[in-house]
Amino acid sequence: MIRATNITKSFGDLQVLRGVNLYVEKGELVSIVGKSGAGKSTLLYILGTLARPDGGDLVIDGKNVFTLRDRQLAAFRNEQIGFVFQFHHLLPEFTALENVCIPAYINKQEVASTQRRAMELLDYLGLADRATHKPNQLSGGEQQRVAVARALINQPAIVFADEPSGNLDSASSEELHRLLFKLRDDFAQTFIIVTHNEELAGLSDRRLEMIDGLLN
């Protein structure tokens, strides 16, 4: 599903990624751990095509993504990649349902079928009765589950998450993690998750550690 080869990235004199290699199969849930400042978010942004590396290749779902022009890359990203961040980044003026639908509308999908699918996702994530709530009317755990639904609406090849439970209490974290594994099991959804949560890392299919600019 994703193959990264010899990814390098520096910020000035600081070499953050020193030739990262990563291969993840469809339906794998892989976690990345490592010290603060190790380069985990930098790597995730590159794998998610939000930033370009200094060198290296990235193939996602058969596509060599960094050969695409910016506009093609943006379209590819919207269709094939889902993101969940530590802070949900939901739009405050829109309901949960509307927030989930937005990436599909950007992808020019039809309104009725999009809303149907968004409701199915919210239901699956235990949020059916929260669909018309705005983000500030939802708990932190509920907001993160809406963010997961939004990440899934376009049926992406892969979902990247950067400390998705970093801002949640332990009960909400556990519930979120349980749902991520359920999505892997039910739909063979592929996940790459940066986390400081050792329980999540321990349960994942593979736990990788970022050390000295490399993944081990």
Ligand X SMILES: Nc1ncnc2c1ncn2[C@@H]1O[C@H](COP(=O)(O)OP(=O)(O)OP(=O)(O)O)[C@@H](O)[C@H]1O
Residues 38-97 that bind ligand X (CB under 6 A): 38-42
**197 near ligand X (CB under 6 A):** no
From the list Mg ion, ligand X, none, which binds 34 (C-beta under 5 to 8 Å, kind-based)? ligand X
Q: What residue has token string 């979902």?
A: 159
Binding window for ligand X (CB under 6 A); candidates: 8-16, 23-31, 69-77, 87-95: 8-16
CB 210 to Mg ion: min, Å: 10
Q: How far apart are CA 115 and CA 119, in angstroms?
A: 6
Tell me if 16 contacts ligand X by CB under 6 A: yes
- Residues 20-39 touching ligand X, rule: CB under 6 A, are 34, 36-39
Which CB sits closer to Mg ion, 42 or 99?
42
Closest CB to ligand X among residues 13, 129? 13
79: how many CB neighbours lie within 10 A of its CB?
16
Report yes or no: 51 and 77 within 8 Å, Cβ to Cβ.
no
Determine the residue type at 92.
P
Q: Which is nearer to Mg ion, 99 or 204 (CB)?
A: 204
CB of 206 to ligand X, least distance (A): 18
Is 41 a binding residue for Mg ion by CB under 5 A? The answer is yes
- Does residue 143 belong to the site contacting Mg ion (CB under 5 A)? no
Residue 111 binds which of ligand X, Mg ion, none (CB < 5-8 A, kind-dependent)? none
When binding is defined by CB under 6 A, the residue of 6, 11, 91, 126 that contacts ligand X is 11
Find the farthest-apart pair of alpha carbons in the chain and give their distance in angstroms, rounded: 51
- Could you tell me the smallest distance in angstroms from the CB atom of residue 161 to Mg ion? 11
- Considering the complex, what minimum distance in angstroms separates the CB of residue 94 from ligand X? 28
Distance in angstroms (rounded) separating the CA atoms of residues 122 and 116: 10
Q: What are phi and psi of 15, to 5 degrees?
A: -90, 110
Please report how close the Cβ of residue 60 comes to Mg ion at its closest, in angstroms. Answer: 21
Instruction: Output the six-digit token pair for 62.
Output: 């058969």
Residues that bind ligand X (CB under 6 A): 11, 14, 16, 34, 36-42
Residues that bind Mg ion (CB under 5 A): 41
